Amino acid sequence: MTANDRLAPATRAAQALRMIDARTGAVVPGVEPASTFARDEAYAPRQRYIYARDGGPTVEHAEAVLASLDGAADSLLFASGMAALVTLTETLAAGDRVAAPRIMYHGGQSWLYRLAERRGIHLDLYDQADPLGAARAVRGDTGWLWVETPANPSWDVVDIAAAAQAAHAAGARLLADCTAAPPCALRALDLGADVAFHSATKYLNGHSDLTAGVLSLRDAEFAAELRGLRALMGNVLSAWDAWLLIRGLRTLFIRWERSSQNALAIARHFRGHPKIAQVLYPGLPGHPGHAVAAAQMQGGFGGMLSLMVTGDGAIAHDVARLANVFLPATSLGGVESLIEHRKAVEGPHSVVPPQLLRLSVGIEDAADLIADLEQALERAG
């Protein structure tokens, strides 16, 4: 156990593992942008670095912080969340079977559909709102069980420990998409997941100024295989974006706390509102997944919630365009609050109800956010 391991996760994140620059004493990590690294007089690598497609010092620093927070044997950074998922699925062979949620991140689901159509992967979709859905989806020949919790944009909750038990009993691996529940709130590997995936574009960075993806892995040998695939595919994160990610990780815990408080205030305000048919937020005691979320998450339930407006999709569309404080943009987990009419974003094949508005609640004043939604609802339709 290192000195860092004995510190609380919030302290490790805030100090970026206390990696003080040995030459200058700088308390802010530097950026190493080099694309290639010269060997020494004996033609041996000076450290582990040869070429930036394999990573570099800044990327490695960010990965070390993430592995520490996730409790992983290793964490790997990619140029986007989709780059991470595509690299992971390169370990699948024709005929392999994957079980995945019916409602999940649409980019990941679109890629799974492509694999099923083009490469002979068998895809089984299960109802993520069913507490037993993930476990029931596992068959004797299932290779991967994919869970997303809370699930975007319905915010259904999956019991990761139960899903891991079902997957491992069948000899399958469990992939947990934890984009909406980063390691300040949920450590999926501790609950039995084999891989924790994050779109680091979202909460981990928190400032809407980079795209990145993370795979945190329980098994070091599997991590080494994926590291080799990443080098071949050339989709490693850049040094500058890794530096931005380190900066974002240093405020992760405090950002999560504030956005969770704001989202809960909004959820409570609009529960029972005459213009809102339903509030989807696992932080509300009436949410079907509240008990499981409370058991496997800490420090709040996050800033993601959805509002089902009373009326049709046209009203939801109007609310999104009439907001003045919420920004009408696609993403989540930043310091600024975003609103989107999810059906319009996902397109004609979306299974998301047209009345659904997805909110990513930031760190602004909660009263301003509530007042903005109120005025947009009043003007809509």
- Residue 74's SS3 state is strand
Write out the two tokens for 316. Answer: 């939801």
Single-letter residue type at 352? V
Supply 194's token pair.
């084999």
Task: Tell me whether residue 135 is exposed, middle or buried, using C-beta atoms within 10 angstroms of its C-beta: 0 to 12, 13 to 18, 19 or more.
Answer: buried
| Torsion sign, CA atoms 15, 18, 21, 25 | positive
Active site residues: 53, 105, 177, 202
Residue 210 backbone dihedrals phi, psi, to 5 degrees: -160, 160
Q: How many CB atoms lie within 10 A of CB 117?
A: 10
Contact 108, 125 (CB under 8 A): no
Cα-to-chain-centroid distance, residue 197: 6
How many residues are given for the chain?
Answer: 381
**Alpha-carbon torsion (114, 199, 319, 284), positive or negative:** positive
In DSSP terms, 174 is beta-bridged to 145
Element (H, E) at 240: helix 239-249
DSSP H/E element including 304: strand 304-309
Q: How far apart are CA 73 and CA 158, in angstroms?
A: 24
For residue 284, count CB atoms less than 10 angstroms from its CB and return exposed for 0-12, middle for 13-18, buried for 19 or more.
middle
Q: Would you put residue 101 in left (φ > 0), alpha (ψ -120 to 50) or beta?
A: beta
End-to-end C-alpha distance for the chain, whole angstroms: 60
